[in-house]
Amino acid sequence: MRTDKKITIAIDGFSSTGKSTIAKQLAKILGYVYVDTGAMYRAVTLYAMQHHYIDGHHFDVGKLIADLPKIKLHFVFNAELGFGEMHLNDRNVEWEIRTIEVSNFVSRVAEISEVRHKLVEQQQEMGRNKGIVMDGRDIGTVVFPDAELKIFMTASSQTRAQRRFEELTDKGQTVTFDEVLRNVEERDYIDTHRDDSPLRKADDAIEIDNSHLTREEQLDKVLDLVYEI
Ligand code: DC
């Protein structure tokens, strides 16, 4: 790849496959913008929880849809962390959107077509000038079907649950491994079976199973792909 040629990099895959790790590394090396689209779905979920549209097992979808024009999402770059933190209606919610409570409901919110429509439009706008690495579930299939490089990440559900479990306990959250594994498997099911933009590998995406790859091996592999373009 010529260094002055900016491209779009789409990274999709199951939850906790390390999409954001590789996306952040790439963005840093290439000087690109990194966008975590999962954070946007999580922020909408947090909004619904804060307004009690989600309560226990009850979910008032109609009220959330009616409120969509009031939900303002944007990323504010944090130089210390090296990526943009999620802001919901001008409040930093980067930490709050990562709790297991939000994780337990986010797939239900991500099934709603009106939510997807709003977020996909904003994501396409963010990537208009290329030079972007975006991770999610539908980036290579729906958001940027013409992306120059599409990567589809996979790893076993046990490996992914272990990673998420360590991440959550490191942050001081009280969860059990079984709870995390159940959440990972439930989300896989909902993400791949929903009617609107289900998670699937784009025909022209390159699949990387990182169950047995170190972060360095994975980065080398992806960088080779970038420089081949
Ligand atoms: O990547 P993540 O685990 O933070 O994503 C949270 C949820 O959002 C996930 O269960 C699926 C959904 N999602 C989606 O449907 N489409 C995207 N582009 C990104 C995330």
What is the pTM for the complete model shown?
0.92
**Confidence label for 124 from pLDDT (cuts 50, 70 and 90):** very high
Query: pLDDT (tens digit, 9 = 90+) per residue, 70-100?
Result: 999 999 999 898 899 999 999 999 999 999 8
pLDDT, averaged across the chain: 94
Which residue type, as a one-letter code, is found at position 76? Answer: V
What the block records as the tokens of 7 is: 């491209």
Asked whether 105 and 49 are in contact (CB, 8 A), the reply is yes
Q: Domains of the chain, with CATH numbers? A: 8-223 (3.40.50.300)
Q: Is 160 in the pocket of ligand 1 (CB under 6 A)?
A: no
In this predicted structure, the answer to whether residue 157 has a pLDDT above a threshold of 80 is yes
Q: Is 15 in the pocket of ligand 1 (CB under 6 A)?
A: yes
In this predicted structure, the answer to whether residue 4 has a pLDDT above a threshold of 80 is no
What is the residue with the minimal CA distance to atom 8 of ligand 1?
38
Distance 228 CA to ligand 1 centre (A): 29
Q: What is the pLDDT of residue 16?
A: 86
- Spatial separation of the C-alpha atoms in residues 122 and 73, rounded to whole Å: 9
What is the residue with the minimal CA distance to atom 2 of ligand 1?
38
- Spatial separation of the C-alpha atoms in residues 60 and 96, rounded to whole Å: 21
Distance 2 CA to ligand 1 centre (A): 32
